[in-house]
Structure 1
Amino acid sequence: MIEQLQAVAGAGFARTELTQSAQSAAGGAAASGVSFGEIMRDQIAASVNSVKGAESASIAGMQGEMDVRQVTDAVMEAERNLQAAVAIRDKIVTAYLDMTRMAI
């Protein structure tokens, strides 16, 4: 799952850079602020880091180096982040399918 999230993050980053280079090549001014792709990339990176933190907390908990409550908190946070990522993915897929069904 982590590899899939990282692949999506990389694709969003590449698409953002292509869009920015196309805008600058066309002479258009880049919009101020942050793009949707950058926001998604940051959120995916945060989710990946959360899962990695939960994995290391689980290992530390099994070795007796971390309190059970801390391990539980880390794992539950990672679970919430993954559930949010899956919900966002489902919404994006649904929106894409709705657009492909539109009459031209």
Structure 2
Amino acid sequence: MLDGVGRFPSVGTGSQYGLAQPTPVAPAPTPQTAPVRTEPLPSDFGAVLGQMTLEAISTLRSSEQTAVAGVRGQATAQQVVEAVMDAEQTLQTAIAIRDKVVASYLEVSRMAI
């Protein structure tokens, strides 16, 4: 409310009005950094594609093993769902890359030499 002069009265800490005092907030945890690769990155497209293929195969095998462990009762439902989602993402990525490679090949084959 305004005082008699048209000014707002000074605002206190809030405790005088029965308001709860804010509690200090702990600093947010810092995100973990991605692991640093120690091996050198491949320098040509074929090597990169080969490495990605091997990683995709590894992910799919791991997901299969987790799914089988879930059927046997050795893995939780959450682990199985996460593994299946990883496998699905890996498969979608592989399909997208394949489609781009095929489209690029068709584009190159249409070029006049």
Q: TM-score range by the shorter chain?
A: 0.5 to 0.7
Q: Which of the residues 94, 100, 103 maps onto 2:109?
A: 100
Q: Which of the residues 31, 45, 61 maps onto 1:52?
A: 61
Which runs of 5 or more residues in structure 1 are unaligned? 1-32
- The one of the two structures with greater contact order (alpha-carbon pairs below 8 A, sep at least 6) is 1
Task: Tell me the distance in 2 between the aligned counterparts of 1:97 and 1:35.
Answer: 21
Amino acid at match of 1:82: L
Superposition misfits of 4+ residues, deviation over 2 angstroms:
none
* TM-fit CA distance, 1:76: 0.6
Amino acid at match of 2:108: M
Task: Tell me the distance in 2 between the aligned counterparts of 1:79 and 1:42.
Answer: 19
Which runs of 5 or more residues in structure 2 are unaligned? 1-41
Residue 20 of structure 2 is matched in structure 1 by none
Pair 1:76 & 2:85 matched:
yes
* TM-fit CA distance, 1:34: 1.8
Q: TM-score, normalized by length of structure 1?
A: 0.66
Whichever structure has more helix as a proportion of its residues is 1
Residue 48 of structure 2 is matched in structure 1 by 39
Identity of counterpart residues, as a percentage? 39
User: Once the two structures are superposed, what CA deviation does each residue of 1:36-80 show, in whole Å capped at 9, x if it has no partner?
Assistant: 111111110111011101110011000000010011101110110
Q: TM-score, normalized by length of structure 2?
A: 0.61
Count of aligned pairs: 72
Task: Tell me the distance in 2 between the aligned counterparts of 1:66 and 1:81.
Answer: 21
Task: Tell me the distance in 2 between the aligned counterparts of 1:90 and 1:74.
Answer: 24
Q: Which has the larger radius of gyration?
A: 2
CA RMSD of aligned residues (A): 1.0
